[in-house]
Amino acid sequence: MGTGSLFRLGALCAVLCLYLTACGSDDDEPETGDEGGADAGADPIDSGDGDGEGDDGPGDGNQAIPTNVEERNANIFNEDGTSKHFGGCDLDTGYVGDDKCLRAPDPHVGFQIHVGPDGYSDEEVADWLMQPGSESSECYFFETENDEEFFYQVWELSGRDGTHHIINSQLINGQAEGWGGCMDQGLGTSPNVAGILPGASRAYMKPAPVAPENANLGATLGAKVPVQADMHYFNFMPPCDDKSCLVLREFWLNVYFVPESEVEERSSGIRGMGGLDWLLFPIQPGTHETYRYECPVESDGRIIRLIGHTHKHGVRETAWIRRPGDETDEDMLKVFEQFDYLEPQIFEYDSLTENPDFAPGMAGAFSGMLEVKAGDTLVWECEINNTSDVALRYTNEVETGEMCNIWGQVVGPTMDCVVFF
């Protein structure tokens, strides 16, 4: 498989809580070491217009965080809607993905967390490299460097090619910095996981402009927070004689500030995990079936984002909102559909975003604010066609495992459903 194929594979799904953490044991102790690490707030690449080094909290002493949402959007986005911070770092390491780095935002605009090697010498990158034909799910433990708690609203994350997913969990008790076994299996069972930070279901998670109805939404990052970065990477390229066929595990996360005075609402993650019964009853070779799951809505609110997740043999994922009285699929409100596991969809539901219409074989979604009421149900299904010669279990393996998950964000209700059967 060539480099171009790897670039597409880098857009694979994930699990954030928003997503599923990779395999590991609560008893696994992380390996320690100082080869590289997490530069939380100190990106090695200067932003060019900010200082790019050691920004310990919101503001730089001279400029305040804008209270106007239009001004905050203007600090993040170009006029064409693209990010002002994606690319342009002038990296030339020889590894794929130099063009994927994020520039650090100005200190009154946001904060950056960089997880990767401190430099790009052979010694510095040794623990971060993946050879052709390999796949791994490991966690990297670190502590953020911000001295003060801050509020954020918009975020973007960019990982190098080969990124399958990145799940960043806030911990109660930190671990020594370094690689180690993940503490949580994605089921929320570890008592040491206190919350989440933005993560990735594909190599690049682009930022979304703040719609007027979301102007007062916010999330917090406390000071000096211990973090587990669950990093699932793969390298499906053929061997070569230089660095171009090696995958370097590295990502940059920018979070963009909102003044605390503006925050009146909080959103929470949607977690819909389906297919866990495949651990006991795997999908046999030659099986072509559709599997359906549900998550109840227990209070009024609005869904602001949905993210699909299947693996190689997931040929379609569809989601609906079922209202009381709906009896058929045609009665339900169809809100999400995707067909390509290599291009997991991320759809926003707000007054600014115009999602693509539904069409046969094409990704599409409902457009507009997606309001939900107590008594509604989020229904999702995955069509799985096992054309392989192995039984598919629910596991973090791109080609020989399968999942049927849906993730997102919601204001109001708690929507956290781990469906075993």
- 268 residue type, one letter: S
Residue where a domain stops, chosen among 245, 262, 279:
262
**Does 327 lie in the same domain as 190?**
no
pLDDT tens digits for 215-266?
Answer: 999 999 999 999 999 998 999 999 999 999 999 999 999 999 999 999 999 9
The span from the CA of 228 to the CA of 247, in Å, is: 21
**Does 310 lie in the same domain as 208?**
no
Domain that residue 205 falls in = 3-262
**Does 288 lie in the same domain as 166?**
no
Which residues does the chain have with pLDDT short of 50?
1-35, 40-57
Long-range contacts of 4-9 (CB under 8 A, 24+ apart): 5/236, 5/237, 6/96, 6/161, 6/162, 6/235, 6/236, 6/237, 6/247, 7/96, 7/161, 8/342, 8/343, 9/162, 9/234, 9/236, 9/342, 9/398
**Does 165 lie in the same domain as 98?**
yes
**Does 254 lie in the same domain as 172?**
yes
Residue where a domain stops, chosen among 202, 235, 262:
262
**Does 274 lie in the same domain as 230?**
no
**Does 173 lie in the same domain as 77?**
yes
In this structure, are strands 268-274 and 415-418 parallel, antiparallel, or unpaired? parallel
**Does 220 lie in the same domain as 122?**
yes
Residue 47 sits in a domain whose CATH number is: 2.60.120.310
SS3 track for 270-318 = EEEEECHHHHCCCECCCCEEEEEEEEECCCCEEEEEEEEECCCCEEEEE
**Bridge partners of 260?**
none
Number of domains, the chain: 2
Q: What pLDDT shows up at residue 62?
A: 60
Residue 406 sits in a domain whose CATH number is: 2.60.120.230
pLDDT tens digits for 266-303?
Answer: 988 898 999 999 999 999 999 999 999 999 999 999 99
pTM across the whole model: 0.81
**Does 279 lie in the same domain as 234?**
no
**Does 243 lie in the same domain as 311?**
no
**Does 194 lie in the same domain as 327?**
no
Q: What pLDDT shows up at residue 202?
A: 87
Q: What pLDDT shows up at residue 3?
A: 38
Residue where a domain stops, chosen among 234, 262, 290:
262
**Does 280 lie in the same domain as 202?**
no
